[in-house]
Amino acid sequence: MNVTIDGLSLHYEVSGTGSPIILVHGFPLSSELWNPIVPALEREYRLIVPDLRGHGRSEASLTATMARYADDLAALLDRIGETRPVVLVGMSMGGYISFEFYRRHRDRVRALVLANTRAQADDPGAARDRRELARRVEREGNAPVVENMIPRLFGPRASRQLRNEWHGILAATRPEGIVAALEAMAERPDSFPTLASVTCPVLIVAGEEDTLTPLTDARRMQKAAPHSQLEVIPGSGHMSPVENSAAFLAVLRRFLEELPSGRV
């Protein structure tokens, strides 16, 4: 389905009934990240699965910020009439957006799941590298990002078929969407103060073999967030929901089942 938000046609899927969960993919990925876990969860929950602006089947804007992505999600919830607090599941850049969503719309968050992500901002070197990559994408199209990301997304045990599938998805991502996301990530703030102030339950999920957002980042987040627990997905790199979907689903399910039901 599509909805127009801020003048852009944004794609999303909604399925199931029950308390709401929104699943937010990372960069430069798409809602297809969640395909392996949606069928199991939609029997018990209402799943809201957007393509972020500039990704998947959503139109791109020339610029973006974490605030803009977060407000797109809030507007989507409004459009589909979802007024209950949601479980917000953010993977990688989806985690950066989840922090911003929490800062801007905290009364709409029932619980946070921060998967394969980190709370610190880019250091000056990392921000500069992202901006340089953005300039290359403006000149050359998305190939430099596809070549840069594919080897780093997956752990050593990921199949060739899975890598090829995601190579295709990354290659189809619009260069404008990639440039806007790179700039947005370079500008994002430190989210450790946010984590320290979170009052809802938090699940932190890390891939055992993730080199993009390593386990050390996840441990730092867990220490900073008073209401958090950390689960490690065995044999997985950065793409936990597709590399070991059974383990990802199991830790998510357990967390969901243990949530206090009072606020829904």
- Going edge to edge, which strands form the sheet with 19-24? 2-5, 8-15, 45-50, 19-24, 86-91, 109-115, 202-207, 228-233
Comparing CA positions, the residue from 98, 73, 83, 115 lying closest to residue 255 is 115
Question: Closer CB to ligand MLT, residue 42 or residue 186?
Answer: 186
CB of 18 to ligand MLT, least distance (A): 27
124/10 Cα distance (integer angstroms): 32
93 binds ligand MLT (CB under 6 A): yes
Residues 210-229 interacting with ligand MLT (rule: CB under 6 A): 212
CB of 99 to ligand MLT, least distance (A): 13
26 binds ligand MLT (CB under 6 A): yes
219 sits in the region (left: phi over 0; alpha: psi -120 to 50; else beta) called alpha
CB of 91 to ligand MLT, least distance (A): 7
**Site size toward ligand MLT, by CB under 6 A:** 6
92 binds ligand MLT (CB under 6 A): yes
Residue 194 tokens read as: 């946010």
Task: Note whether 217 and 118 are within 8 A (CB).
Answer: yes
Question: Closer CB to ligand MLT, residue 45 or residue 101?
Answer: 101
Distances (CA, A) of 33 to 23, 27, 37, 91, 233: 9, 11, 9, 9, 16
27 binds ligand MLT (CB under 6 A): yes
Residue 165 tokens read as: 């599938």
185 binds ligand MLT (CB under 6 A): yes
CB of 160 to ligand MLT, least distance (A): 20
133 binds ligand MLT (CB under 6 A): no
Q: Which residues bind ligand MLT (CB under 6 A)?
A: 26-27, 92-93, 185, 212
